[in-house]
Amino acid sequence: MPVVGMVGGGQLARMTAQAAIGLGVTFRVLAGSAADSAALVTRDVTVGSHLSLSDVGSFAAGCDVVTFDHEHVPGEILTALEAAGVLVRPGSAALRFTQDKLAMRDRLAGLGVPCPRHAPVSSVADVVSFCGGTWPVVLKAVSGGYDGKGVWVCSSASDAADVLGHGIALLAEEFVPFRRELAALVARSPSGQGAAYPVVQTVQVDGICREVIAPAPGLAAGLAESAQAAALGIASSLGVVGLLAVELFETSDGLLVNELAMRPHNSGHWTIEGARTSQFEQHLRAVLDLPLGSCSPASPPGAFTVMANLLGGTDSDIYDRYIHVMAADPAVKVHFYGKEARPGRKIGHVTVAGAAGDDVTAARDRARRAASYLRWGAENGD
């Protein structure tokens, strides 16, 4: 059986490990610490830094293919591995577009993919000239941002000056008054096979994904198909191997691409129960160049699957509440990542896989109730 190595020991690696068990492939993790979410449950763990060429290089030496649960491995390390003959999937040429938002925006614009208007900025004058004095405007860190960290909505030149004071490379973007946010998740194998999951709706609060509804309720078939086609086209043009999540804004004029991720993605956790092939299995199949699995929903047509993230509160005694959540709604699936609860940190998720006739509002209420109960307990639940 081949050996797949995943750099990064977070919950994405932990859930990929579960899929690897099912497939029977050997799975290794390079984790920053033995207490990382995936390191706690994976037998084959190397503790080391994804920023060290020697740590990543010696980890890769024992693997048939190397893949990632985050996009933070420096480009120089990726290219050094490739030069040494390691199969790095996705490769450095594709991953670059997840590490540099400016390069991503420029490349997508070059491909004719609709994106928010953008420009690099390094002074308040640049920002003012970009927005022509019309606020708000969005400033983003060119690299290193995640979960909304590194995204600032500025309502004035003085807000922009504060952000510029961080002294990091920034780009400005038009503020998009979107109707809602969507995500198109696709997989691509080195042989060029592609597969697309149903387009989902994502709900962000303070830049953090809170809820995913699959498929996106009421999305016109034409828009869903064009989002899937755009995601498959981007995967092929950028040479992505593995999963590609394309985060989108739905506006009154159509869809705009916001962001790309080339790994299992929060918008795809619903697939564990809600699709014939989970995104984690699909990623493994793609990086191993196996035929891809079916992306069809597991539930009957017309049903919805809802996923709600479980964010850490001040009380970490989650297990204490399992009994109530499971008794109240036996169809709710609880996933806990073994992470210490810290306020706002993603520590788990719950999924309500839709049954025929379920209406989406009821499924959303059930998922939210379970997540909120787990987080706060009965006394504080909403």
Please state, in angstroms and rounded to a whole number, the distance separating the CA atoms of residues 185 and 270. 11
- Token digits for 167? 């002294």
Residue 173 sits in the site that holds ligand ADP (CB under 6 A): yes
The closest of 280, 305, 290 to 366, measured between CA atoms, is 305
> For ligand ADP, which residue of 5, 10, 91, 116 counts as binding (CB under 6 A)?
116
Candidate ranges 137-145, 185-193, 221-229, 234-242; the one touching ligand ADP (CB under 6 A): 137-145
Candidate ranges 2-10, 22-30, 139-147, 213-221; the one touching ligand ADP (CB under 6 A): 139-147
Q: What angle do CA 57, 61, 65 make, to 5 degrees?
A: 100
3-state secondary structure of 321: helix
Which of 147/289 has CB closer to ligand ADP?
147
Residue 148 sits in the site that holds ligand ADP (CB under 6 A): yes
- Please report, as a single letter, which amino acid is at residue 46: T
User: In which residue are the tokens 């040429």 written?
Assistant: 93
Q: What angle do CA 303, 297, 333 make, to 5 degrees?
A: 75
Which of 137/367 has CB closer to ligand ADP?
137
Residue 247 sits in the site that holds ligand ADP (CB under 6 A): yes
Please state, in angstroms and rounded to a whole number, the distance separating the CA atoms of residues 289 and 175. 39
Which of 79/204 has CB closer to ligand ADP?
204
Tell me the sheet residues that pair with 28: 5, 44
Residue 362 sits in the site that holds ligand ADP (CB under 6 A): no
Residue 93 sits in the site that holds ligand ADP (CB under 6 A): no
- Please report, as a single letter, which amino acid is at residue 288: L
Residue 181 sits in the site that holds ligand ADP (CB under 6 A): yes
- 156, burial (CB in 10 Å: exposed 0-12, middle 13-18, buried 19+): exposed
- 379, burial (CB in 10 Å: exposed 0-12, middle 13-18, buried 19+): exposed
> For ligand ADP, which residue of 49, 204, 236, 237 counts as binding (CB under 6 A)?
204
Candidate ranges 82-90, 138-146, 163-171, 188-196; the one touching ligand ADP (CB under 6 A): 138-146
Which of 208/362 has CB closer to ligand ADP?
208
Which of 140/366 has CB closer to ligand ADP?
140
Which of 144/381 has CB closer to ligand ADP?
144
The closest of 210, 263, 225 to 94, measured between CA atoms, is 263
How many positions of this chain bind ligand ADP (CB under 6 A)?
19
Which of 267/299 has CB closer to ligand ADP?
267
Candidate ranges 54-62, 145-153, 296-304, 365-373; the one touching ligand ADP (CB under 6 A): 145-153
Residue 120 sits in the site that holds ligand ADP (CB under 6 A): no
CB 113 to ligand ADP: min, Å:
15
215-254 in b/e burial notation, b at 16+ Cβ within 10 A? bbeebeeebbeebbebbbbbbeebebbbbbbbbbbbeeee
Residue 145 sits in the site that holds ligand ADP (CB under 6 A): yes
Question: Which residues here bind ligand ADP, judged by CB under 6 A?
Answer: 116, 138, 140, 145-151, 173, 175-176, 181, 204, 207, 247, 258-259
